[in-house]
């Protein structure tokens, strides 16, 4: 069973790190280890995995019908009026160091530290982060399925965009298209940036009207079966591309393609970033590539590992990352191309297959570059 294997892996990591237990609290981590998506908001939910022995699930009694602990967990239910943190404290080992979910509110940790002042606490990067780093085949299949939905929606939205649409109208259409595919929750609020707004990497889409000849950056993704998609395309909406637009687009496309080709086991993540960054810098646009080349993706849209210029971590089979170089010319336009790839035994495989050609959405032609 996948969940038992994940628990076993964590226990091996705890043993190697000389830690006594890990406390898992966030909905995504809770789901990863149990198969149950539970968000009890301010109420405590936790899975305590000890270095050895059976894991314990702690949840509010109103969630009895939602959790299915089976044989994997001992289960402890609490009710309003109980001190849930005192209950959790009593489950923890008597001494040693415990790893705490990075996403747990600090106020809870501070109180737990008072309740168990004989324990030491560390974050969960080296335990939960490492456990979730390499996707198993079940996760890869789910991410492929989520990516296929994103492909369908991206093709549809490219056909939808025309001069006169407002950015927010395109965002609303994206949401409708995802919903039509059975995806109600998005990985993040879509980014639609036209013209000079495209030069803002995380632009908050507004009432700006898309004009003929604008470049439009479309960054979007949805959550299918609890696994995210994330992809970006940049399109020309009618009119004629300037020479500068063509050069920037070609540069970003080449940086993207070469970075994807560089992905394989044993390669440091910083080399993937450097591959994309050097191509962009050689064309004179180095200062205008203002973010990392990519990030991990899975249950969360941003998770380990991160494709940055200083990350010495080596790529391993099963890691899933985005490759998304971009160039952003303030006051003019921006270009970003993004796909999600999984590291295979010999290289990588894309989860996104929408063409990366420079498309004119009005007539469907490929802009010559």
User: For 20-66, how does the pLDDT look when each residue is reduced to its tens digit (9 = 90+)?
Assistant: 999 999 999 999 999 999 998 889 999 999 999 999 999 999 988 88
Please, what's the b/e burial string for 82-117 (b: 16 or more CB within 10 A of its CB; e: otherwise)?
eebbeebbeebbeeeebbbbeebeeebbebbeeebe
**Distance between CA atoms of residues 286 and 327, nearest Å:** 8
Residue 340's pLDDT is what? 98
Predicted pLDDT at 170: 98
Q: How many Å apart are CA 298 and CA 91, to the nearest integer?
A: 30
| Spatial separation of the C-alpha atoms in residues 187 and 17, rounded to whole Å | 33
Distance CA 171, CA 168 (A): 5
Q: What is the pLDDT of residue 294?
A: 98
Burial class (CB in 10 A: 0-12, 13-18, 19+), 135: buried
pLDDT at res. 69: 65
Parallel/antiparallel/unpaired status of strands 46-50 and 55-60: antiparallel
The pLDDT of residue 1: 57
Closest CA to 168 of 212, 201, 221, 204: 204
Dihedral sign for Cα atoms in the order 131, 301, 232, 185: positive
- Where does the chain have alpha helices with state H? 2-17, 27-34, 84-91, 106-115, 130-133, 137-160, 167-180, 243-262, 269-282
Dist CA 2 CA 135 (whole Å): 11
pLDDT of residue 366: 87
Separation of CA 34 from chain center: 20
Cβ–Cβ contacts within 10 Å for residue 302, how many?
14
Chain segment 188-201, per-residue pLDDT in tens: 999 999 999 999 99
Instruction: Provide the CA 343 distance to its chain's centre, in angstroms.
Output: 15
What is the crossing angle of helices 137-160 and 167-180, to 10°? 130
Phi, psi of 313, deg, nearest 5: -55, 140
Using 50 as the pLDDT threshold, list the residues of the chain that sit under it. Answer: none
């Amino acid at each position: 069973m996948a969940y038992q294997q994940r628990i076993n892996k964590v226990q091996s990591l705890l043993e190697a790190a000389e830690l006594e237990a890990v406390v898992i609290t966030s909905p995504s981590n809770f789901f990863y280890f149990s198969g149950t998506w539970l968000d009890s908001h301010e109420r405590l939910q936790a899975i305590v995995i000890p270095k050895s022995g059976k894991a314990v699930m702690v949840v509010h009694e109103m969630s009895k019908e939602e959790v299915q602990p089976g044989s994997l967990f001992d289960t402890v239910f609490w009710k309003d009026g109980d001190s849930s943190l005192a209950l959790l404290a009593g489950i923890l080992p008597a001494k040693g160091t415990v790893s705490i979910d990075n996403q747990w509110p600090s106020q809870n940790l501070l109180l737990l530290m008072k309740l168990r002042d004989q324990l030491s606490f560390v974050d969960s990067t080296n335990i939960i982060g490492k456990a979730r780093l390499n996707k198993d085949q079940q996760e890869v299949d789910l991410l492929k399925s989520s990516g296929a939905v994103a492909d369908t929606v991206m093709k549809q939205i490219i056909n939808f965009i025309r001069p006169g649409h407002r950015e927010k109208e395109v965002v609303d259409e994206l949401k409708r298209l995802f919903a039509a595919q059975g995806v109600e929750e998005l990985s993040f609020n879509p980014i639609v940036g036209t013209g000079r707004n495209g030069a803002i990497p995380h632009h908050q889409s507004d009432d700006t009207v898309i004009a003929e000849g604008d470049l439009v950056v479309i960054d979007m993704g949805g959550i299918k079966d609890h696994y995210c998609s994330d992809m970006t395309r940049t399109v020309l909406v009618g009119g004629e591309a300037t020479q500068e637009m063509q050069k920037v687009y070609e540069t970003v496309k080449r940086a993207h393609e070469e970075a994807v080709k560089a992905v394989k086991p044993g390669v440091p993540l910083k080399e993937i970033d450097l591959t994309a960054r050097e191509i962009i810098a050689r064309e004179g646009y180095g200062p205008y590539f203002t973010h990392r080349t990519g990030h991990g993706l899975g249950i969360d849209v941003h998770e380990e590992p991160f494709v940055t210029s200083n990350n010495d971590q080596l790529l391993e089979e099963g890691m899933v990352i985005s490759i998304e170089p971009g160039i952003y010319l303030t006051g003019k336009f921006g270009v970003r191309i993004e796909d999600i790839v999984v590291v295979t035994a010999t290289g990588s495989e894309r989860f996104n297959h929408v063409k990366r050609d420079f498309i004119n959405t009005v007539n469907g032609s490929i802009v010559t570059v």
